[in-house]
Amino acid sequence: MVPLAFAAHSRPRHFGSQSLKGRPFRLAKRIVKNNKLDQITFTDRLRISFKWAVDPVATFLVRLGVRANMLTVAGLLGITFAAYWLSQGKFTWGGLLFLLMTPLDALDGPVARLRGEPQNFGAFVDSVIDRYSELVIYAGLLWYAQKLDHPWLAMAVYFAAFGSVLVSYIRARAQSVGLEAKVGFLSRVERYFILGPALLFNVPFIGVTIIAIGANLTALQRIFYVRQAAHKQKS
């Protein structure tokens, strides 16, 4: 899901209750070391930098009895309503709701951790719902484009969806063969940072076009990175 949606493709792991404020980059390096990665992503930096703000909210929600999957499903429903508004050409309202649903994606991971819920299945569900959330937005924009007979917008939406899915798919396939591919300048969080304001300010074509180009370049970037990593592993 957007701005604070730095739960990326999985729910964050627990690194202790010690305050993280003021030490984001040192802890980011620790995350990379613990996960045997050689990459620190923008999503990692956001997750660490805003942990001090997210955790108290997550603690409050846990006290209210809120579960992680409740937040995940609520976010998907909100995004679906936003997609409907986009399909009707109401970009400002659709973009606003799209942005308002973003924090839910940042909170489901911490809520799951605080409640002691199963992390593996939760991360799986979260990742699947993230794909649905992103694609339903593109579906709304595609409906609007075909209704107005706007072929350029329709093509931009198609290639944005195409690239967005490939970025996630390449990482998943790399992980399945024991490699990691989190590199790239336009992962899901960055795409939301672009799409949200573009919708809010009623310039969807600009936002979608940037994503269409950037997401596919990111997919190629990850392919080349996996190729290099595989050769290093072989040698």
Fold topology of 24-234: Four Helix Bundle (Hemerythrin (Met), subunit A) (1.20.120)
Average pLDDT per run of 10 along the chain, which is 235 residues long?
41 41 44 47 76 88 91 94 97 95 85 82 86 96 95 96 95 91 88 95 96 96 93 81
Quote the distance between the C-alpha of residue 195 and its chain's center: 12
- Write the secondary structure of 117-165 as one string of H (helix), E (strand) and C (coil): CCHHHHHHHHHHHHHHHHHHHHHHHHHHHHHCCCHHHHHHHHHHHHHHH
Q: What is the pLDDT of residue 132?
A: 95
The one catalytic residue among 55, 105, 108, 130: 130
Identify the pLDDT of residue 113: 86
Cα distances (Å, whole numbers) of residue 118 to 8, 31, 123: 18, 20, 9
44 is annotated as an active-site residue:
no
Task: Dump pLDDT digits (tens) for 105-139.
Answer: 888 888 988 888 777 787 888 889 999 999 999 99
